[in-house]
Chain A
């Protein structure tokens, strides 16, 4: 509110003190709000104009209206006020000029802050490696250690010790790539490219006594010609927990927890019976589709990743088959005393779904335009 000169009725010292104080406060506030030259001039005129300026008004109103006995005191106060207001106006003008000068100086070197920044290139972690690390870290927080093993495996570790007997049809499902010139060796010593990370279960149990909890990230190979959803080389993460008290409920609880950690706490899990030679009972784990949230639809379109079912299969799992323990029984894995669960998941497929990538081959071409999307 702009200052208006009040009529004085009380001419006591305290009242005069208050009136002059109000006047200075208002003047100071007005001075502080000045933004430009025109406002500065208006401010000066309003207070100092000979004709009807605030100081003239005060002179007329306060002095002329003063009772006789207060005239001297009022004259003294009004003079003091005039001096203060003149000082205020001078300092306001001074400050304004100074600010204006600085503004003039810097405004000539203003830059367009909307031009794009110069960005030093930052490399992107590969989406598969990133996904793999995320999964591993979820299990590390649950107390799992990390293990690894060779990519070029023997028949023994890839099949026999995992309860795939020689000539068993279950071997057909693995589309194995074999190393050449192995015929002279006994079958269990023949080399092949591991078709899953499961052989490391056996290798780890040979080295470590129970209880154990491990996850095994790694590359695996199968004789699958490359296309949008297949690659002869891909990545898996295997998990294994063995102790004296592990149950099927523990398998379910652990994986349910892990899936919520990976895909969000609202994700639901569903277990279906399946068959793997090295686990029994065996299951496939489904989670509610993290693309459509389980509805099977994206807007009015069908959700492709889950084939409109609302569920996505993420891994195979099961209780470790006693036959598997028999192969490492001497290291403390007596199937009568210990039990355990194992699981294995394809990382590439999960990364594909997670980032809605439409062609698996993109992961292996090293195309910078693709990789930089993950930076």
Chain B
């Protein structure tokens, strides 16, 4: 929103330059975000909070400036010619004529400028109408339109606005249209009150009715759009048809044209929620709706009406017919607020005194009546334009704002209490540390995925559903992620497509689902991703088991390398014995992926991604993924280090070379040997695997190494031979053939 500092200077005699003014306004919360142009053409780019519609105009900003610099604020007093006297006036001012009128205008004004004036209002019934001349107005919805003020001008000429008006509007990026339309625009930017002008002769039936629209009724608005109305819409209508969408935009068919001679000026106060809903329903955000939905000044309807009339008469001539028509069904006086000096000090820190409080609030238009002993508190009357101020704390904010935030002393509060970490903070930190040490870079991916990916990679609990977005950014990002795999695959592909081959990534985060009972759940997950290049690059020298030639051996070694990383992560936790099986999700390679379980609980699944998935993602090489279920993992404690006495006696190693069928896994051999319960057997592991050559197809050769050691003595040759014999026998029983 733009404002002109030159225009602001109409109402307050400022001595500071524009730059300083901008800075000082910003420091009281009337933010000037930028300054463009120079001299009289200087523009302020304003950022005014939604709570301050009163400052979205030049007079409102002038009021703030007057308060900052302690200068008088000049009133706006429309001067209307005595032609107004001609017709018979209506409303409470009766026959008082222009004198009464201008007094009324002054009242409103003096209240704007800081005085307290009471406002005349009309009686209230379900339907409020002022039916006598010059123009009958009926308000059928007094709750939604508590005030409707009108004026009639006859015999005016429509022509371009005077230079000053046109120039000022252009400065604000407003296109000048005609003197009548520009007058309403000018007043909107001057005092913040939206108004509207109708071509009086195009209003059928000679009257105005404020009513709900009928379902299906049509209204072509000023922007040329035909709008279908519903009974939720509030309209300004003539006897036959809607002529304006209340508070949002006027009607096309009754707008001011070059032919217009007679004008009805409308200045109403609309219910903010009604305007906001209408604006949203019709996707029509206007300067008027912006102000009405934030709350316009209830007491400025007459002033704004008069000001528009003044501007039209000045430029186009003509005469006022009758007095202002002011249909008001209720008063909007806010109840006075008690402000305790002690409360201001409790919240702000004891810097401001009663004298300063009085000065600041008075300048902003508040009326303060001291109460209690030694000005301990004030009864504060709120000006009609400050709908945002309703409570004591709102007044305290006004005081702090004008006092200057930076003037309050910086203090540190005393505190005694324990610092509590999130329950799993240490576990998360340990996991992160290990992943980093293993060479995985931490990544953060977006939390949305496509419907298709949600289906493909779903690992939802039984009966659970995906969380769909009502207003997604795109179809590709239409549901909350149910798995971290799609994000990881995207990131791996991103790197491969940029010729980065050696990629290791991990991400920790949440996935989202709606449980069968409709509860939302956000389980924590970790995901590892690595390219084949990276996995192979991290082989340790001497760690290779399978020395056969060909892809199968390479794949086995790559899998083991990645598995080692997963094991290193899980090893941070208290997990007595990890079991691995092949019950993995279908997006994994069925032969090169595994689940890791402890006591029947699945902690992770990992391995090479399914070739079909890799192809669909157009991945340039094989990739390995791991999903860790952190909810399950965090149920286990971190592994506690435990000391064991270092061995004093030498260890003895024995190697056994066997041939087994492919169907026999190492795990079976290990279990079998474990069953022998040889106390001195410290370790049993494979050291070399070979397929091909002299080994029959479907079989493989495996070199197994046993390590024996006692903590009490040096082992004897015959003992070791005896245990070795048992191991050989057990392995033979498993179907193995010992090689010579």
Residues of chain B within 8 A (CB-CB) of A368 are 441, 495, 500, 502-505
Instruction: Map CB proximity to B onto A273-301 as digits: 1 under 8 Å, 0 otherwise.
Output: 11100001111000000000000000000
Among A180, A232, A281, A366, which residue has its beta carbon within 8 angstroms of that of B468? A180
In the assembly, what is the distance between CA of A245 and CA of B438, in Å? 48
Chain B residue with Cβ nearest A152:
B520
- CB distance A322 to B391 under 8 Å? yes
Residues of chain A within 8 A (CB-CB) of B413 are 241, 243, 245-247, 250, 253-254
- Least CB distance from A244 to B in Å reads 10
- CB distance B436 to A124 under 8 Å? yes
Interface residues in B14-45 by Cβ distance below 8 A to A read: 26-29, 31
- CB distance B348 to A178 under 8 Å? no
Instruction: Map CB proximity to B onto A199-218 as digits: 1 under 8 Å, 0 otherwise.
Output: 00000000000011100000
Instruction: Map CB proximity to A onto B337-351 as digits: 1 under 8 Å, 0 otherwise.
Output: 000000000111111
- CB distance A144 to B350 under 8 Å? no
- CB distance A367 to B51 under 8 Å? no
Residues of chain B within 8 A (CB-CB) of A256 are 410
In the assembly, what is the distance between CA of A114 and CA of B714, in Å? 48
- Determine whether B443 belongs to the interface, using a CB cutoff of 8 Å to chain A: yes
Residues of chain A within 8 A (CB-CB) of B394 are 280
List the one stretch of B88-96, B105-113, B395-403 in contact with chain A: B395-403
- CB distance A272 to B405 under 8 Å? yes
Q: Contacts A182-B470, A247-B350 given; indicate if A233 touches B446 (C-beta within 8 A).
A: yes
- Least CB distance from B569 to A in Å reads 12
- CB distance B522 to A151 under 8 Å? yes
Q: Contacts A253-B410, A322-B393 given; indicate if A178 touches B469 (C-beta within 8 A).
A: yes
Residues of chain B within 8 A (CB-CB) of A226 are 473
Among B276, B405, B421, B439, which residue has its beta carbon within 8 angstroms of that of A123? B439
Residues of chain B within 8 A (CB-CB) of A191 are 467, 520
- CB distance B405 to A271 under 8 Å? yes
- Determine whether B472 belongs to the interface, using a CB cutoff of 8 Å to chain A: yes
Residues of chain A within 8 A (CB-CB) of B167 are none
Interface residues in A154-170 by Cβ distance below 8 A to B read: 167, 169-170
List the one stretch of A10-18, A43-51, A125-133 in contact with chain B: A125-133
Q: Contacts A125-B432, A173-B50, A272-B29 given; indicate if A232 touches B415 (C-beta within 8 A).
A: no
Instruction: Map CB proximity to A onto B514-537 as digits: 1 under 8 Å, 0 otherwise.
Output: 000000101000000000001001
Among B29, B31, B350, B491, which residue has its beta carbon within 8 angstroms of that of A366? B491
Residues of chain A within 8 A (CB-CB) of B616 are none
Residues of chain B within 8 A (CB-CB) of A375 are 441
Interface residues in A101-137 by Cβ distance below 8 A to B read: 120-126, 128-129
User: Using a Cβ–Cβ cut-off of 8 Å, how many residues does chain A contribute to the interface with B?
Assistant: 80
- CB distance B498 to A126 under 8 Å? no
- CB distance A282 to B397 under 8 Å? yes
In the assembly, what is the distance between CA of A369 and CA of B467, in Å? 33
Chain A residue with Cβ nearest B507:
A366
Residues of chain A within 8 A (CB-CB) of B415 are 143, 211, 213, 241, 243
Q: Contacts A272-B27, A367-B500 given; indicate if A280 touches B393 (C-beta within 8 A).
A: yes
Residues of chain A within 8 A (CB-CB) of B82 are none
- CB distance A275 to B401 under 8 Å? no
- Least CB distance from A114 to B in Å reads 24
- CB distance A126 to B442 under 8 Å? yes
Q: Contacts A249-B348, A366-B494 given; indicate if A124 touches B442 (C-beta within 8 A).
A: yes
In the assembly, what is the distance between CA of A23 and CA of B649, in Å? 60
Q: Contacts A121-B504, A233-B446, A254-B412 given; indicate if A273 touches B350 (C-beta within 8 A).
A: no
- Determine whether A365 belongs to the interface, using a CB cutoff of 8 Å to chain B: yes
Residues of chain A within 8 A (CB-CB) of B448 are 232-233
- Least CB distance from A133 to B in Å reads 9
In the assembly, what is the distance between CA of A252 and CA of B348, in Å? 10
Residues of chain B within 8 A (CB-CB) of A366 are 441, 443, 445, 488, 490-492, 494-495, 505, 507
In the assembly, what is the distance between CA of A249 and CA of B411, in Å? 5
Q: Contacts A140-B419, A147-B422, A169-B50 given; indicate if A178 touches B471 (C-beta within 8 A).
A: yes
Among B401, B447, B492, B520, which residue has its beta carbon within 8 angstroms of that of A150? B520
In the assembly, what is the distance between CA of A150 and CA of B490, in Å? 25
- Least CB distance from B274 to A in Å reads 9
- Determine whether B666 belongs to the interface, using a CB cutoff of 8 Å to chain A: no
User: Using a Cβ–Cβ cut-off of 8 Å, how many residues does chain B contribute to the interface with A?
Assistant: 90
- Least CB distance from B535 to A in Å reads 12
- CB distance B348 to A180 under 8 Å? no
Instruction: Map CB proximity to A onto B400-434 as digits: 1 under 8 Å, 0 otherwise.
Output: 11000110111111110111111001000000100
- Determine whether A148 belongs to the interface, using a CB cutoff of 8 Å to chain B: yes
Residues of chain A within 8 A (CB-CB) of B393 are 280, 319, 321-322
Q: Contacts A177-B469, A364-B444 given; indicate if A169 touches B276 (C-beta within 8 A).
A: yes
Among A169, A249, A275, A365, which residue has its beta carbon within 8 angstroms of that of B410? A249
- Least CB distance from B35 to A in Å reads 11
- CB distance B29 to A273 under 8 Å? yes
- Least CB distance from A352 to B in Å reads 13
- Determine whether B231 belongs to the interface, using a CB cutoff of 8 Å to chain A: no
Residues of chain B within 8 A (CB-CB) of A322 are 391, 393
Among A152, A245, A363, A365, which residue has its beta carbon within 8 angstroms of that of B522? A152
In the assembly, what is the distance between CA of A248 and CA of B405, in Å? 9
Interface centre among A124, A182, A226, A367 (most CB of B within 10 A): A367
- Determine whether A91 belongs to the interface, using a CB cutoff of 8 Å to chain B: no
Interface residues in B248-299 by Cβ distance below 8 A to A read: 273, 276-277, 293-294
- Determine whether A225 belongs to the interface, using a CB cutoff of 8 Å to chain B: yes
Interface residues in B546-602 by Cβ distance below 8 A to A read: none
- CB distance B442 to A125 under 8 Å? yes
Among A129, A231, A367, which residue has its beta carbon within 8 angstroms of that of B498? A367
- CB distance A143 to B419 under 8 Å? yes
- Determine whether A257 belongs to the interface, using a CB cutoff of 8 Å to chain B: yes
Residues of chain B within 8 A (CB-CB) of A173 are 50
Interface residues in B449-504 by Cβ distance below 8 A to A read: 467-473, 477, 480, 488, 490-492, 494-495, 498, 500, 502-504
Q: Contacts A145-B418, A180-B468, A367-B495 given; indicate if A221 touches B400 (C-beta within 8 A).
A: no
- CB distance B469 to A180 under 8 Å? yes
- Determine whether B538 belongs to the interface, using a CB cutoff of 8 Å to chain A: yes
In the assembly, what is the distance between CA of A281 and CA of B351, in Å? 15
Residues of chain B within 8 A (CB-CB) of A247 are 346-350, 411, 413
Residues of chain B within 8 A (CB-CB) of A122 are 436-437, 439
Chain A residue with Cβ nearest B495:
A368
Chain B residue with Cβ nearest A221:
B447
In the assembly, what is the distance between CA of A120 and CA of B358, in Å? 70
- Least CB distance from A323 to B in Å reads 8
- CB distance A177 to B444 under 8 Å? no
Interface residues in A231-273 by Cβ distance below 8 A to B read: 231-233, 241, 243, 245-250, 252-254, 256-257, 270-273
Binding site for B on A (CB under 8 A): 120-126, 128-129, 140, 143-148, 150-152, 167, 169-170, 172-173, 177-182, 191, 193, 211-213, 219, 221, 223, 225-226, 231-233, 241, 243, 245-250, 252-254, 256-257, 270-275, 280-283, 319, 321-322, 339, 363-369, 371-372, 375
Binding site for A on B (CB under 8 A): 26-29, 31, 49-52, 273, 276-277, 293-294, 346-351, 391, 393-394, 396-397, 400-401, 405-406, 408-415, 417-422, 425, 432, 435-448, 467-473, 477, 480, 488, 490-492, 494-495, 498, 500, 502-507, 509-510, 512, 520, 522, 534, 537-538
Q: A123-B506, A249-B409, A364-B445 are in contact. List 19 more A-B contacts (CB 8 A).
A: A123-B441, A125-B432, A125-B442, A145-B417, A147-B422, A151-B447, A170-B51, A177-B472, A179-B467, A211-B415, A211-B417, A232-B473, A241-B413, A250-B413, A254-B413, A273-B397, A275-B29, A367-B494, A375-B441
The 24 sampled A-B contact pairs (Cβ below 8 Å) are: A123-B435, A123-B442, A151-B522, A152-B520, A170-B50, A177-B473, A178-B469, A182-B470, A211-B417, A212-B417, A223-B471, A232-B446, A248-B349, A248-B405, A249-B409, A250-B413, A253-B412, A271-B406, A273-B27, A281-B347, A363-B444, A366-B507, A371-B441, A371-B442
7 residue pairs, one from A and one from B, having the closest CB atoms:
A273-B29, A366-B491, A275-B49, A121-B439, A249-B349, A247-B349, A253-B410
